[in-house]
Structure 1
Amino acid sequence: MSGTKKSEYEGFTAEERAAMKEHAAEQKKAARKGSAAEKAAEAERDVLAKIADMKDDDRVMAERVHAVVTESAPQLAPKLWYGMPAYALNGKVVCFFQSAAKFKARYATLGFNDAARLDDGAMWPTAFALTKITPEVEEQIAALVKQAAG
């Protein structure tokens, strides 16, 4: 690296550490005994509670994303993933909503994991910035989620 100062690794941010702790708690909770139906109902309650705890614009967008995802792809199961509302197929997270506040970002994110069937040639987007949910954005989300869920 000529002419540039080598940056030092400073470790995970407080927000990243908090997300990892949330994920560990989620895994522990998922391992508890109970029927699949009980676990699914509890997971959805957890997602709705997480959304309700969000601030202002993040909460409004997360509520709309949740509604669009559950209407467009009812086969996706709501669950928390690193403290974020997520939607899984056969236990694998397909998509998730990341609030802007989660990592102190400029915008919220609708993200898709590798379980999503969005493949389009050699390159395709897997995350989308969200600043506002309009009817047009809802249509785009619905189409993406339907495609992602197969």
Structure 2
Amino acid sequence: MSTKTGFTDEERAAMAQRAAELRAMKGVKGAAKRAKEYEACLAAIDELEGIDREIAERLHVVVSEVAPDLNAKTWYGFPSYARDDKVVVFYQPASKFSTRYGTIGFDEAATLDDGDMWATSFAVIRMTEQVESRLRELVHRAAN
């Protein structure tokens, strides 16, 4: 961790990655932007290894099948899926910050609201049929 900024090297790298994502999309609009963002998402998934890659690939399939209107993109280097440029769901791989598990997160645009408190992030250590089934339910709710 840096004593100057309070951010870890991984956090600074993620912020730099986000800035690069924004620069790459500057001036790109419409279908060309969606195509470029889609390719960036696939590239981010391809860079992953092991369980991170398996989970990211399954999330990509689930979103494609359950919520095809969400646009694939990257967000801080994470494979992400957005509506109107607002991230709905994303995968934060364990390898990104050297954590014990990756997480599938739902941002504010997902509106998974359920009373006074609800989960917006789920730790995933293995993609089982049960995990995928629950993920399909959540993505469906988040996208509608």
Q: TM-score, normalised by structure 2?
A: 0.94
Could you report, residue by residue, the CA deviation over 1:46-85 in whole angstroms, capped at 9, with x for unpaired residues? 1111111111111111101111111111111011000100
1:92 to 68, 86, 92: 86
Q: TM-score, normalised by structure 1?
A: 0.90
2: CA distance, partners of 1:52 / 1:131: 19
Which residue matches 1:23? 18
Which residue matches 1:79? 73
Please identify which structure carries the higher helix content.
Answer: 2
Which residue matches 2:103? 109
Q: Percent identity?
A: 48
Matches within 5 A, 1:1-150: 11-33=6-28, 35-150=29-144
2: CA distance, partners of 1:21 / 1:37: 25
State the aligned residue count. 142
Counterpart residue identity of residue 83, structure 1: G
Shift, 1:32, TM fit = 2.6
Could you report, residue by residue, the CA deviation over 1:7-36 in whole angstroms, capped at 9, with x for unpaired residues? x99610000000000000111112233x41
Moved over 2 A (4+): none
2: CA distance, partners of 1:115 / 1:48: 22
1: CA distance, partners of 2:89 / 2:102: 13
In structure 2, list runs of 5 or more residues that go unmatched: none
1: CA distance, partners of 2:99 / 2:63: 23
1: CA distance, partners of 2:5 / 2:114: 36
